[in-house]
Structure 1
């Protein structure tokens, strides 16, 4: 079972803040450092000093870490053209020595698109983009060196692409697809993904979502066991109840009713919840930490939870 640290830097974090968390993530023995891909903060937050670009951030971290996996959960298809995105991810994979994973999704936060002049199609339209981007990006990466790649889709057309550079990981970096969609999301995960992520929901809800994606694998003729299942949750951990309450207050969580599938409590309580998730098939847990200045939080998770998982 893997524990990964997951951050939301659009809420207010510089590159140096993220570097400190990534280095602590590596030092503490976690499997990976992931970040969201957003350009505007959520809620009543100023987001200072301003959002950092996800793939520029990961390129920097690729050179300043040595072991942990690096990736996005998830990059919206509305932010970048898939051709240049395939180049960027392949280059970061090279820069990291083969440690990159690409989470790709349809996007959902309309406000950030309006804030930076990005098109925001309706939900079916965004899923059309996601389907084409998954095919196009993997097609570019999987084209043998020396051959050309062509793509003739509704939204994207490529002619005689050299399909370079190539990522280090072969056949290509792992792709993560996630969400709670009932039809298209499971089908796309079954066809293209190495990992399916269901986050910020109860154990029972996640069990239902996992069941849908496993059924989609079977329908597509894929062994469901070849698709890694993962979950994501906001996590607040304290050595005792007083520390739990202190940390929860900083990130505006009610320890008695944390909501949105958040996991709040002592190490024993966190281990119990992660065990429940493991019992329904979750092999990887993304622990979303919101207070990026609290590096002691990571040390507590590493010392009191990680060894038990």
Structure 2
């Protein structure tokens, strides 16, 4: 059993379709009213049926007050890390510290190349993401008075002035599935953000956690420095179902608590664009899961962990 002890987060994964922009924004507002912690949006700049994700995040930040916002995940091949770093920090400052950064190495390379991006092999994509994280962190580090000097094969920032620093320690959450990406997540990231639909089940979470933990140890970090997040889909039903997250709220509570206590997941981001589902998750399911997890942690004697300081 694995429980990294992080506080639990619940969020929404909203499709940024341009055909109904006010509905997209409205789902973020529904998420906030329901008490969810996060509203997130996929980032596919080559997809003409979608709103530009960074423009959308900025607009939603202005139309909400409390909820935290993130791309899920930002497409690094089409968002140069030096520019992305300043965009993230700027929106974090403007929103009062409500931005996190989901980050990916890229997919759908035909679309990326058609938009002017460079096609990379999977290995090159991992290397580029590693360099991109270095560039972003260097630009955010205003405690260092020297100019940035990050030299990479894919991304560099040499002689750039640092800043602005975000309003809070922005988490870099990596979408990872393959061994090299998982090792990069353990070595450098603040969070692991896969989608349950791309995994075969909890066993894949355990295998991914083990790779991340090993890489964190090798990098001199505590495994708890890496928050474990999960994009999940599901449906509410009056009757219990055999599938994960397919049944009444009490079944969701049992299964999400098990994912937290036994498989290390501490943030659940719900897809589906269903305002009723988001409301039930925020108002009924999330409080009940927190109660179950808190009671079991108390029984086990597990102290809560702050992932921003876990590696210190």
Which of the five TM-score ranges fits, normalised by the shorter chain?
0.7 to 0.9
Listed as ranges, the gaps of 5+ residues in structure 2 are 1-7, 290-312
Q: Which residue does the alignment assign to 2:304? A: none
**Structure 2 residue 95 is matched with structure 1 residue 88:** no
Distance 1:127 1:226 in 2: 20
Give the conservation status (yes or no) of the 8 Å contact 1:203–1:276.
no
Q: Which residue does the alignment assign to 2:21? A: 15
- Closer, same or farther in 2 for the Cα pair 1:98/1:303, shift >3 Å? closer
Distance 2:112 2:65 in 1: 34
Cα deviations by residue, 1:51-110 (Å, 9 ceiling, x for unpaired) = 111111111111111111100121121111111111111111111111110011111223
Q: Which residue does the alignment assign to 1:38? A: 44
**Structure 2 residue 282 is matched with structure 1 residue 302:** yes
Q: Which residue does the alignment assign to 1:198? A: 194
Shift of 1:115: 4.8
Give the conservation status (yes or no) of the 8 Å contact 2:228–2:267.
yes
Give the conservation status (yes or no) of the 8 Å contact 2:102–2:193.
no
Which secondary structure state, in structure 2, belongs to the residue aligned with residue 100 of structure 1?
coil
2:258 equivalent among 270, 276, 283: 276
Give the conservation status (yes or no) of the 8 Å contact 1:25–1:298.
yes
Distance 2:204 2:183 in 1: 18
- Closer, same or farther in 2 for the Cα pair 1:189/1:13, shift >3 Å? farther
Give the conservation status (yes or no) of the 8 Å contact 1:150–1:159.
yes
- Closer, same or farther in 2 for the Cα pair 1:178/1:8, shift >3 Å? same
Which secondary structure state, in structure 1, belongs to the residue aligned with residue 29 of structure 2?
helix
Distance 1:110 1:157 in 2: 21
- Tell me the TM-score normalised to structure 2 length: 0.82
1:187 equivalent among 180, 183, 187: 183
Q: Which structure is higher in RCO with an 8 Å CA cutoff and minimum separation 6?
A: 2
Which secondary structure state, in structure 1, belongs to the residue aligned with residue 119 of structure 2?
coil
Distance 1:116 1:17 in 2: 27
Listed as ranges, the gaps of 5+ residues in structure 1 are 42-46, 245-254
Distance 1:156 1:142 in 2: 18
**Structure 2 residue 246 is matched with structure 1 residue 264:** yes
**Structure 2 residue 104 is matched with structure 1 residue 105:** yes
Give the conservation status (yes or no) of the 8 Å contact 1:232–1:285.
yes
Distance 1:127 1:208 in 2: 19
**Structure 2 residue 5 is matched with structure 1 residue 6:** no
Shift of 1:272: 2.2
- Closer, same or farther in 2 for the Cα pair 1:39/1:157, shift >3 Å? closer
- Closer, same or farther in 2 for the Cα pair 1:207/1:148, shift >3 Å? same
Shift of 1:25: 0.7
Q: CA RMSD in A?
A: 2.2
- Tell me the TM-score normalised to structure 1 length: 0.82
- Closer, same or farther in 2 for the Cα pair 1:157/1:217, shift >3 Å? closer
Cα deviations by residue, 1:99-150 (Å, 9 ceiling, x for unpaired) = 1100111112234325534332111121121111011111111133754212
- Closer, same or farther in 2 for the Cα pair 1:118/1:256, shift >3 Å? farther
